[in-house]
Structure 1
Amino acid sequence: MKIYTRTGDDGTTSLFNGLRVPKNEPHVDAYGTVDELNSTLGLAASLLAPELDSNARTPTQKESLESSLKQIRYIQNRLFDLGAHLATPLTSSDAESIARTGFKDAVSELLEKWMDAMDADLPKLTTFIVPGGHAAASALHMARTICRRAERQMVPLLEQGDLCGAGYKFMNRLSDYLFMVSRHVNILTGDRDVLWSKDTTV
């Protein structure tokens, strides 16, 4: 089966319910940004994976890094689920399609559990953080900002009843998780958060 279909040459695409819409339609815009977020998490995972084989890491650090990597991979799969949910507008799809692409609160609850566990290991924040540190942490910060953009794009869909509350809640929790895990990765790899400074000299 060829990857190209030529059906989008007129600037339209199909949602999961078969409706043809412009490629800049709000649902398409939102799940396109979710796909961008997923790709950025893939980059973060690729940068993090070599740390599991590094001789500079203790067994405890490697175990925590492996746990973070598994969490990121889990989130990537859930983002695929969210993309399907966004491509199935609740106000114009049949009950079977909606049931098949539904989203559950349990995903957000799991993120909260992971954040609570990380919080115990993170030093208290006394100032803003400038994205940086380990390359994987920087990629996670980038993912966080993309996540926030996707969240903003999803607000109109939530307001018009085309998105379930659980899907939106997941994105809100995810941006918080990505902020925390970026800091967690910096600690585990021996890097440091880059702290904001008022100093204007170079």
Structure 2
Amino acid sequence: MGHRLSKIYTRTGDAGTTGLGDGKRVSKNSLRIHALGEVDEANAIIGVLLCEDLPEAVRALLTDVQHDLFDLGGEVCIPGMSMITGKQVTHLENQLDAFNAELEPLKDFILPGGTRAAALAHHARTVCRRAERALVALTQEEAVNDGPRQYLNRLSDLLFVLGRALNRAGGRGDVLWQKRKNA
């Protein structure tokens, strides 16, 4: 491992800029820093989900996802870097297929809820979608590899399925949306 942080505050961002991994300084409100912050938040909410009592397979998967998201953030932080590839995307697809195969076919829209763990998975899904949107905005202004965008897209799908799987593991079914319930 390279440099260690021995001093957390540096004062280098006091003027509204921050450093990228390649040493370049950019505005803290740049699209790249915005996308990086959204990816960081997605990783943080998955950390909150990991505080729950989870099936071991889900725990192991989400721990791997956190490492991938840190790599993804590194790729966003260092323009031109490539760390997220089709291999990680395919892994998510395989996990998505495996967890989804154990669930009843979805016939209705569901609400984000049920068990606390399922609700947190749905919350993580929405944060992941926001990170994906921020990355798409960045790609409209700067060159960014396809891997991170594809990874976030698959991860949000996986988090949806994990929400359903966590409800099932918690002895709950899907929370079904009832059209015009309160009309």
Query: How high is the TM-score relative to the length of structure 1?
Result: 0.84
Give structure 1 stretches of 5+ with no counterpart: 50-64, 91-97
**In structure 1, distance between residues paired with 2:182 and 2:39:** 38
Q: Is 2:74 aligned against 1:74?
A: no
Aligned-residue Cα RMSD (Å) equals: 1.5
The answer to whether the 8 Å contact 2:35/2:138 transfers is: no
Give structure 2 stretches of 5+ with no counterpart: 1-5
How far apart are residue 159 of structure 1 and its match? 3.7
> Which residue, out of 9, 14, 27, partners 2:19?
14
How far apart are residue 177 of structure 1 and its match? 0.5
**In structure 1, distance between residues paired with 2:164 and 2:124:** 13
Q: Percent identity among equivalent residues?
A: 41
Which amino acid in the other structure matches residue 175 of structure 2? V
How far apart are residue 36 of structure 1 and its match? 0.5
Q: Is 2:109 aligned against 1:128?
A: yes
> Which residue, out of 82, 89, 101, partners 2:79?
89
Q: Which residue of 2 aligns with 1:192?
A: 173
Q: Which residue of 1 aligns with 2:3?
A: none
Which secondary structure does the structure 2 equivalent of 1:13 belong to?
Answer: strand
- The Cα offsets for residues 102-122 of structure 1, whole Å up to 9 and x where unpaired, read as 321100100111111112211
Q: Which residue of 2 aligns with 1:54?
A: none
The answer to whether the 8 Å contact 1:158/1:165 transfers is: no
**In structure 2, distance between residues paired with 1:85 and 1:68:** 25
Q: Are residues 6 and 161 of structure 1, via their aligned partners in 2, closer, same or farther at CA, if it must alter by over 3 Å?
A: closer
The answer to whether the 8 Å contact 1:158/1:168 transfers is: no
Which secondary structure does the structure 2 equivalent of 1:21 belong to?
Answer: strand
Q: Is 2:172 aligned against 1:182?
A: no
Q: Which residue of 2 aligns with 1:148?
A: 129
- The Cα offsets for residues 138-176 of structure 1, whole Å up to 9 and x where unpaired, read as 111011001111111111333445211111110111110
**In structure 2, distance between residues paired with 1:159 and 1:189:** 42
Which secondary structure does the structure 2 equivalent of 1:48 belong to?
Answer: coil
**In structure 1, distance between residues paired with 2:182 and 2:38:** 37
Alignment of 1:6-45 (within 5 A): 6-45=11-50
How far apart are residue 69 of structure 1 and its match? 0.7
Which secondary structure does the structure 1 equivalent of 2:26 belong to?
Answer: strand
- Structure 1 consecutive aligned stretches of length 4 or more whose deviation exceeds 4 Å: none
